[in-house]
Amino acid sequence: MVRGLTMFRPRMVRPVPLFHAMILFGIGLVGFYIYQQDPEAPDLPPPGEQIHRHKVIQPIVPNRRPLRAQLLRLHHHRYPSGNHSFLNRLWAKREFYGHFNVTNIRKVQNITKKYFDSKRHIIYYSDLDVLVEKCDYQTFTLRNSSKSPCNVVHTPIKHYRTCAVVGNGGILLESGCGAEIDAHEFVIRPNLPPVLKYRRDVGSRTNLTIVNGRRLTKLSRGLQSVFGKPLETAMPWIQLFDSPGMIFSYSLIFSKKRQEDMGVINTAIKMYNKTTITAFPSTSLVDGKRAYIEIAGQEFDYPSTGLNAFALASTFCDRISMYGFYPMPLYQSNRVFYHYYDKHTPSESHDFDREYAMIRQLNADGVVRHVVGKCKSAAPT
């Protein structure tokens, strides 16, 4: 045999031990997880790049009445079942983000941003005097320059990747959605409902609450009645403000009467050392109701606080999940109350059936993720 050819003999490849293969697989999983969590990665792909195949939004014009029969057949998107293990959380995250359609989200945002803006709809209460002195309420421009925006007041709202808009519907009872709701970066609730007693189903966090006039007056009178009394006596009222750093804002025209009510609440918050931030709008959120005509062909005389909370949230949230929005009296043969915390009858001021139909359409189009029924696992952050 020629010695010079020995260097070309094929070498035996040693098999990779199973232990090493498992390590490599684990490194790959960790790398994938880190990629998904990367805070520097853009939250939304460029326009036209869709996360999931959905139809492009078309305005919906359902019959005004009756809607209940067709709405009862609609179901919600759910997470896969299982425990909260690492792999299940990865799968839940993939399912969550896969639901949304970025093209349709951007189309809705382009509409809502014409009518809603946190800079003028959620202003620090401490900036009230500055707004009155230097800005025009209606146009939100400087008094000495009608073409310049009112840039002398500020908002506590920032930009958020995932938001939960949590209605107060009785559908939340026995849902087990608390952990899933709290897993969102920012949680929004209309009308400051009680949460601690129901936290397994509704969550315990509130980052923003937007209240109507009736709720603002009730809170003001309740807090005023316990001024100067021991904390134990004031607890039923003051514990509503326990969520750290919560933003408490009004949703309608900020008249003198509403300013007085907010002043009482602001005083109570300071008196009992709560970290709640009080805020107010320069114009009523109801003034933006034309947005719903452009989004879905729906004209509402008086949109609910919850629906307006969604529209406002769409201007500063990338992806929105909605809970507690269900107007029917029955779900899977079980009684459903208007609120999860009392047995009040529905307000006749709002058309909840058509609002629900619109939310279901937004869910089908990948604009929001609307949850009805039981939740399976915590998901986004």
Q: Which residues pair with residue 334 across a beta bridge?
A: 331
Report the alpha-carbon distance of residue 223 to residue 242 in Å, rounded: 14
Taken in order of first residue, the domains within the chain and their CATH numbers are: 68-122+157-371 (3.90.1480.20)
Give pLDDT, residue 83.
Answer: 45
Task: Enter the pTM of the model.
Answer: 0.78
**pLDDT tens digits for range 191-202:** 999 999 999 999
Give pLDDT, residue 96.
Answer: 76
**Which residues of the chain are under the pLDDT cut of 70?**
1-21, 24, 27-94, 377-381
**pLDDT tens digits for range 255-306:** 999 999 999 999 999 999 999 999 999 999 999 999 999 999 999 999 999 9
- State both tokens at 378: 């915590």
**pLDDT tens digits for range 147-187:** 899 999 999 999 999 999 999 999 999 999 999 999 999 99
DSSP 320-373: EEEES----SEETTEE--SSSSS-PPPPTTS-HHHHHHHHHHHHHTTSEEEE-S
Give pLDDT, residue 115.
Answer: 97
Asked if residue 39 has a cis previous peptide bond (ω within 30° of 0), the answer is no
Looking at 99, 121, 184, 350, which residue is catalytic?
Answer: 350
Give pLDDT, residue 40.
Answer: 35
Element (DSSP H or E) covering residue 190: strand 186-190
Give pLDDT, residue 182.
Answer: 97
Is residue 76 annotated as a catalytic residue, yes or no?
no
Give pLDDT, residue 39.
Answer: 39
